[in-house]
C-alpha cells in the first residue's frame, strides 16, 4: 500500500475516534483513550511504510539489455597452402561462419578462411530431440544403438507412436526471423512405418508441410528427399517466415500410423544460407529469451558464444581433421579455444557483476588462442615435411661418417650365440 494512502486512512480513523471520544466524560479516561488512538495511528503508518519498502525490495530489478563492443578482432593471415583444406573442411566452415557472421563486432581478414560456395547452406541450429524444451504428443523418442555405415558419429534416435490417437509428433518451438529462408533437414529411415511429414506451424495453423513416403520417390513439391546408402533418406523442407515470431517445427507420423510403429532418425537441423547469419544475429535478444530463458544482459554475446560452443562440439566429435593437421597439438588448441568460450559464456550467463572490462579481457584471450591456432596450422602447411624427409634420406649418416664402423662390428659378422 502507498504511504500517502496509509496516512489518509490513519487521519480518517483518528478523526472518527476523536469524535467518538466526546461521548466519554471529561475525565482522565478520555485523555488516556486519545493517547492510545495517536499511538495506534503512528504505529499503523510505520507498519504500512515498512511493508511498502519490503515489497519494493522484492520487486524484480529492472532489466537493461546491454551491448558490448570489443576491440577490433583481426584474424591472422591464412597461408595459401592451407586455404584449400580449410575451405573444404565442413565442420570448420560451420564454425567460421558463426565466428564471422554472429559476432557482436566485425571480424576482419576472414576472406580466405570462409568458403564462398554458391547456394550453400550452413547449420544455424541443431534440434535436439531429448531435452526439456521438446514437445512430444502421443509418442516417445529414445536413443537407438545402431551405427551408421559411413562411421558418422551422430546419435540415432527412435521415434515411436505410443497411442492410438490421431496425431503423433515431436515438436520444437523457435523464434524465426522475418524473410530468412530456413531449411529443416533430418536424416530418416523407416522401420515399420514409411510415411512421415515435416511441418512448420504458427499457433496450430499449418504454414508449410511436406509428406514423405520413405520407400518410394514420392513427396510433394514443398519438400526434398535425397536417397542415401542403406535406405537412409535426407528430408528437407524450406520455410520463409513473413513475420518474426515463434513458430512450431514438427516431425509427425501419418494420421493412419498405428501404435508401436516407428522410424529412426538423426541430425535434425535448421539451416540457412551464410549471408543471413548476420541478420539473425540482430534478433539475438528474442532468440536467447525464447529458446533458453537466459536472463543475461549481453544477449548478442551470449548467443554468439553458445553457437561457437555447439560448433566446436561438433567439430571435435566428428574428428575429420585434414590429414596434415590431424594431430594432438592442433586438437588440444581447439579444446583450449572451446574451454575459454565456455568460461566466458558461463560468466555472461550467471555472473551479474561481470562488466565490459572483464568481457574484453576474456575476448582478448579467445582472440589470441584462435590466432595462435591459425598460426600453428600455417606453420604445419608451410613446413613441407615431404621435402624435408627426402633431404634427410639423401644425406650420409653423420655419425657413421665421423666414426665409421669396422667390418668386424657389422651385423652380418656377428656369430649367433649357441645355447
d(CA 8, CA 11): 5
pTM beyond 0.75, yes or no: no
pLDDT at 316 over 50: yes
Dihedral over Cα of 193, 194, 195, 196: its sign: positive
d(CA 104, CA 86): 24
pLDDT, one tens digit per residue, over 76-126 is 888 888 999 998 898 899 899 888 877 777 788 888 888 766 667 888 888
pLDDT, one tens digit per residue, over 324-347 is 999 999 999 999 999 999 999 988
CA distances from 241 to 178, 181, 202, 235, 277 (A): 5, 8, 10, 20, 15
pLDDT at 318 over 60: yes
> Contact 331/316 with Cβ under 8 angstroms?
yes
d(CA 330, CA 336): 10
Q: What is the pLDDT of residue 233?
A: 92
Q: Find all residues with CB under 8 Å of 147, minimum gap 6, and list them.
A: 156
For the beta carbon of residue 271, count every other beta carbon within 10 angstroms. Answer: 18
Q: Which of 295, 283, 289, 301 is nearest to 359 (CA)?
A: 301
In the predicted model, what is the mean pLDDT of the chain?
Answer: 77
Lowest mean pLDDT among 264-268, 295-299, 304-308, 344-348: 295-299
Q: What is the pLDDT of residue 297?
A: 56
Q: What is the pLDDT of residue 281?
A: 79
> Contact 162/138 with Cβ under 8 angstroms?
yes
Lowest mean pLDDT among 217-226, 272-281, 309-318: 217-226
Q: Please indicate whether residue 416 or residue 219 has the higher confidence score (pLDDT).
A: 219
Q: Please indicate whether residue 202 or residue 349 has the higher confidence score (pLDDT).
A: 202
Q: What is the pLDDT of residue 112?
A: 80
pLDDT at 206 over 50: yes
> Of the segments 86-100, 283-297, 362-376, which one has the largest average pLDDT value?
362-376
> Contact 220/238 with Cβ under 8 angstroms?
no
Q: What is the pLDDT of residue 210?
A: 92
Torsion from C-alpha of 138, 231, 316, 386, nearest 10 degrees:
180
Amino acid at each position: 500500500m502507498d504511504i500517502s494512502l496509509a496516512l489518509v486512512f490513519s487521519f480518517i480513523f483518528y478523526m472518527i475516534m476523536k469524535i467518538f471520544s466526546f461521548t466519554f466524560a471529561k475525565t482522565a479516561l478520555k485523555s488516556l483513550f486519545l493517547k492510545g488512538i495517536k499511538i495506534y495511528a503512528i504505529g499503523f503508518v510505520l507498519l504500512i511504510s515498512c511493508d511498502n519498502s519490503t515489497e519494493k525490495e522484492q520487486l524484480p530489478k529492472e532489466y537493461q539489455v546491454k551491448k558490448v563492443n570489443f576491440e577490433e578482432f583481426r584474424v591472422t593471415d591464412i597461408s595459401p597452402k592451407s586455404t584449400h583444406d580449410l575451405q573444404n573442411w565442413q565442420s570448420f566452415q560451420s564454425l567460421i561462419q558463426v565466428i564471422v557472421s554472429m559476432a557482436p563486432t566485425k571480424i576482419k581478414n576472414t576472406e580466405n578462411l570462409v568458403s564462398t560456395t554458391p547456394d550453400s547452406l550452413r547449420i544455424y541450429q541443431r534440434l535436439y530431440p531429448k531435452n526439456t524444451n521438446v514437445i512430444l504428443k502421443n509418442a516417445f523418442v529414445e536413443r537407438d544403438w545402431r551405427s551408421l555405415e559411413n562411421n558418422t558419429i551422430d546419435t540415432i534416435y527412435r521415434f515411436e507412436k505410443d497411442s492410438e490417437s490421431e496425431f503423433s509428433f515431436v515438436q520444437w518451438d523457435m523464434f524465426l526471423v522475418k524473410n530468412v529462408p530456413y531449411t529443416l533437414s533430418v536424416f530418416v529411415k523407416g522401420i515399420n512405418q514409411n510415411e512421415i511429414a515435416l511441418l512448420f506451424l504458427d499457433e496450430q495453423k499449418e504454414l508449410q508441410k511436406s509428406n514423405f513416403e520413405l520407400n518410394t520417390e514420392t513427396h510433394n513439391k514443398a519438400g526434398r528427399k535425397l536417397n542415401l546408402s542403406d535406405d537412409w533418406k535426407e528430408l528437407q523442407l524450406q520455410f520463409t517466415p513473413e513475420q518474426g515470431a515463434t513458430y512450431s517445427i514438427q516431425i509427425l507420423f501419418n494420421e493412419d500410423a498405428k501404435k508401436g510403429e516407428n522410424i529412426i532418425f538423426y541430425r535434425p537441423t535448421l539451416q540457412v544460407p551464410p549471408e543471413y547469419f548476420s541478420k539473425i544475429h540482430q534478433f539475438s535478444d528474442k532468440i536467447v529469451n525464447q529458446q533458453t530463458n537466459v536472463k543475461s544482459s549481453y544477449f548478442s554475446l551470449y548467443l554468439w558464444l553458445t553457437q561457437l560452443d555447439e560448433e566446436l562440439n561438433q567439430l571435435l566429435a566428428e574428428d575429420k581433421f585434414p590429414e596434415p593437421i590431424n594431430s594432438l597439438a592442433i586438437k588440444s588448441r581447439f579444446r583450449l579455444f572451446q574451454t575459454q568460450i565456455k568460461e566466458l559464456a558461463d560468466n555472461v550467463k550467471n555472473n551479474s557483476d561481470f562488466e565490459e572490462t572483464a568481457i574484453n579481457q576474456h575476448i582478448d584471450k579467445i582472440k589470441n588462442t584462435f590466432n595462435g591456432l591459425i598460426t600453428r596450422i600455417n606453420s604445419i602447411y608451410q613446413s613441407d615435411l615431404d621435402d624435408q624427409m627426402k633431404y634427410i634420406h639423401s644425406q650420409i649418416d653423420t655419425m657413421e661418417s665421423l666414426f665409421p664402423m669396422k667390418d668386424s662390428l657389422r651385423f652380418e659378422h656377428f656369430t649367433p650365440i649357441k645355447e
